[in-house]
Amino acid sequence: MAIWTSEIKELEKLYESLKGQFPDLEKELERLIRADDENIILLYSRRCLEVIITDLCERELKRPRKTEPLKGIIDKLHKEEKIPSHIISSMHGLNELSTYGAHPKDFDPEQVKPVLNNLDIIIKWYLKNKGYHPEAKPRSVVEGLESSSIEVSEATKSIAVLSFVDMSPEKDQEYFCDGIAEEIIHALSQIKNLKVVARSSAFAFKNKQADLREVGRILDVETILEGSIRKSGDRLRITAQFIKVSDGSHIWSERYDRDLEDVFAIQDEISMTIADILKVKLLPASKAIIPKRHSENIEAYSLYLKGMYYWQMLTSEGYRKAAEYFNHALEIDPDYALAYIGFGYVISLSTFWGNIPPNEGYTKIKEYIEKALKIDNTLADAYTLLGIINTHYLWVFKEAEKNFQHALQINPNLSMSHLYYSMFLIFTGRHEEAISEAKRAQQLDPLSIYINTYTGLIYDYTGRIDDAIKEYQITLAINPNFFITHYHLGRAFAAKGMIKESIAEYERAVDLSDYEASLPVAALTCSYYSIGEKDKADRLFESLKKRSETEYVPATSLYLIHRVRGEEALALDFLKKACNEHDSFLVWFRAHPFLIPEGSKYMALLKEMGLNY
């Protein structure tokens, strides 16, 4: 049985529901669902997209398509905001994976599944956009859920809190809308027996006209909270609706007209109301957690929300802006524990992918964690950050595991804690446990490009390269511009001997990171050397060496290049330098036989320098 059988069946249901209403699309769909060769499936998937794009070109751009490439039209539709951005991402993902060239044998069968998933999303949106509603009954998230009751089992209570809509006249309160929703997510995630979808997945539908039942199906939740905010001066109007996914009915709704200073009380009231409606049995500790305030200063709170807004962009510019806002929030309120935690995460990511040296970055993170825990010792994120420090910088692995387990004991809904614990388990050789933790992180945050990318990396490190590639490709269908995914996909292709594809991914990673992240540059440099492109490799190598004179460049990057150049003594020198600096990537390198071969001089050096699991 083909691995994409279930996806074909979904498209077959769509085909059967059309009933002659869309003859051009139906013709291509029929050929697709009857095909049994992956190349033909890719071909007709692309033809289905072409039918849809041709129609959108005429209806939305008011002109015939002529011979213009699909990508050009998709970009124009995006630029003119004719199509929701998540549909644009699906179109680009399908277009890039399904390109039908002169050499069908070059296609990887693993491309088929994400192509079909994207096509399903695109067609459903297209039909809705055309005002056509198939008779087929939408698939329910929870089989057997009675429409007359919201009672569900203790184990399956679940909710997604969507980003609130900015209804302010100036449309300048997006960060505030995100922040209100995130505070409610944070409060609800403390509750025992309630699954709360993480921010990055719940907010993936922001500014999109999505059917809430479809959103619920994608996020695998039974209930959804959505709302809007209108801010005028110091006055707020907040509306909130609690909706049952199975039939789209409103369980509860409320409107709040209050002063800005009442925003904390409104958040508490919404959180407690939702908990009460779900009839979740709150422990006494949970009741105390929900109303806890981390700052009573509205200005500091607003700055914190802006910091979170920019951090979640996962870009170097976003990290810089987030750091500024967190710093400003702490200047106003030095006891703002969550701002210390947010700042800690930004520095952690910048230590990996930016230019902050480990001794500087991790020292600062530890300082912030200690301040945060002195203010509030129940912050799960603080213990997660401690686990990151003890794993990647101090190499105190027993203590790190205690940190991660304590974080998950405090808040089992914290997707990032599950993810970082999964990484820890990979380093200590517990592969099945690592995969289980990564999958749990995905369940809590199914659309997170960061979590899905690193779930792919977990598969990579367990030797399941094909599964890793599949995860990376699905992630790129969600967001094709995340450089870290392209970098890891390049590594996975290299592991399979697909050098041409690997180099293409490394090049994309370097372009998207604007050459700021050194490891993709090092990987591309090594690849160029391996195929005899010495001039290209030398130019990149020189650029890294020049950067290292004025800014921090991880020694692991230079170790890789010297090793590929056959300069063993220099490679050992830079590996020793990386050990002395406690380079953030060393723990990853130690766990991968290609990066640090078992039994080699390099592995012996790491063990001598104290990096032992």
| Domain at 159, CATH number | 3.40.50.10070
Residue 87 tokens read as: 């549909």
> Do residues 205 and 255 both lie within one domain?
yes
The pLDDT of residue 138 is 34
Report yes or no on 139 lying in a domain.
Answer: no
The answer to whether residues 587 and 501 belong to one domain is no
- Looking at residue 370, its amino acid is E
Local confidence band at 590 (pLDDT 50, 70, 90 cut-offs): very high
- In this prediction, residue 370 carries a pLDDT of 95
| Length of the chain measured in residues | 613
Based on the fold, state whether residues 364 and 382 are members of the same structural domain. Answer: yes
More confident residue, 214 or 426: 426
Of residues 404 and 31, the one with the higher pLDDT is 404
525 and 495 in a single domain? The answer is: no
Name the pairing type of β-strands 223-232 and 250-259.
unpaired
Q: How confident is the model at residue 140 (pLDDT cuts 50, 70, 90)?
A: very low
Domain housing 539:
516-613
Residue 136 has pLDDT above 70, yes or no: no
* Confidence grade of residue 59 (pLDDT, cut at 50, 70, 90): confident
Q: What integer pLDDT is reported at residue 570 of this predicted model?
A: 97
Residues 119 and 41: beta-carbon distance below 8 Å: no
Q: How does DSSP classify residue 414?
A: -
Q: Both 160 and 248 in a single domain? A: yes
Give the whole-angstrom CA distance, residue 184 versus residue 274.
10
The answer to whether 384 and 407 have CB atoms below 8 angstroms apart is yes
**60-69, 92-101, 362-371 — most confident range:** 362-371
**Count of CB atoms situated within 10 Å of the CB of 570:** 15
For residues 419 and 439, is the Cβ–Cβ distance under 8 A?
no
Those residues whose C-beta lies under 8 Å from the C-beta of residue 526, and which sit 6 or more positions away, are 537, 560, 561, 564
What does the pLDDT average to over 383-412? 95
The span from the CA of 472 to the CA of 496, in Å, is: 15
Residue type, position 496, single letter? K
Write down the pLDDT at residue 194. Answer: 82
Question: For residue 541, how many C-alpha atoms fall within 13 Å in the half-sphere facing its CB?
Answer: 19
Single-letter residue type at 129:
N
pLDDT (0 to 100) of residue 178: 83
Question: How far is residue 491's CA from residue 497's CA, in Å, rounded to a whole number?
Answer: 10
Tell which of 507, 533, 554 closes a domain.
Answer: 507
Lowest-confidence pick of 315-324, 368-377, 518-527: 315-324
Last residue of a domain, one of 411, 441, 457: 411
Whether residue 401 is found in the same domain as residue 479? no
Give residue 2's pLDDT: 60
The yes-or-no verdict on residue 571 having pLDDT over 90 is yes
**What average pLDDT does this structure show over 47-72?**
86
Residue 147 lies in a domain: no
| CA–CA gap between residue 93 and residue 102 (Å, rounded) | 20
> Across-strand partners of 253?
241
Q: Is residue 532 part of a domain?
A: yes
Please name which of 78, 80, 84, 82 lies closest in space to residue 206, comparing C-alpha atoms: 84
pLDDT at 143: 28
Residue 322 in this model has a pLDDT that exceeds 50 = yes
Same domain, residue pair 189 and 270: yes
Alpha-helix runs per DSSP H in 207-297 = 212-219, 263-277, 284-289
CA dihedral (111, 113, 116, 121) positive or negative: negative
Higher per-residue pLDDT: 481 or 355:
481
SS3 for 575?
A: helix
CATH number reported for the structural domain that contains residue 68 in this entry: 1.20.120
The confidence score (pLDDT) of residue 137 equals 37
Distance CA 113, CA 470 (A): 8
Burial of residue 432 (CB within 10 Å: 0-12, 13-18, 19+) is exposed
Between 146 and 207, the more confident residue is: 207
Overall average pLDDT of the 129-136 stretch: 68
239 & 181 share domain: yes
- Quickly state the pLDDT bin for 34 (edges 50, 70, 90): confident
pLDDT over threshold 70, residue 545:
yes
Instruction: Give the whole-angstrom CA distance, residue 226 versus residue 137.
Output: 24
Is the pLDDT at 557 greater than 80, yes or no?
yes
Q: Answer whether residue 114 is part of any domain.
A: yes
Same structural domain for residues 250 and 318?
Answer: no
Instruction: Examine the fold and report which residue of 375, 396, 411 is the final residue of a domain before the chain moves on.
Output: 411
Distance of CA 466 to the CA centre of its chain: 20
Task: Give the model's pLDDT for residue 324.
Answer: 94
Q: What is the arithmetic mean of pLDDT over 450-478?
A: 93
- Contact in structure between 308 and 342 (CB atoms under 8 Å): yes
Co-location of 288 and 336 in the same domain? no
Q: Can you give the pLDDT at residue 155?
A: 36
The total domain count for the chain is 5
Question: Which of 305, 294, 57 minimizes the C-alpha distance to 180?
Answer: 305
Residue 594 counted as domain residue: yes
d(CA 383, CA 406): 7
The answer on pLDDT for 150 being more than 50 is no
Q: Is the pLDDT of residue 468 over 80?
A: yes
What global pTM score does this model have?
Answer: 0.67
Same domain, 503 and 520: no
Least confident window among 78-87, 225-234, 286-295, 471-480: 286-295
Q: Is position 143 within any domain?
A: no
Q: Return the higher-pLDDT residue of 393 and 282.
A: 393
**Beta bridge mates, 160:** 224
Q: What is the pLDDT of residues 13-33, one digit of tens each?
A: 888 888 788 888 988 898 888
| Alpha-carbon dihedral sign for residues 221, 455, 353, 334 | positive
- Residues 276, 160: one domain? yes
Q: Is residue 10 part of a domain?
A: yes
Q: Determine contact, residues 147/247, Cβ cutoff 8 Å.
A: yes
For the segment 587-593, the average pLDDT, to the nearest whole number, is 93
Mean pLDDT of 362-370: 95
Residue 141 lies in a domain: no
Mean pLDDT of the chain: 84
pLDDT in tens, 234-264: 888 888 888 888 877 788 787 878 787 777 6
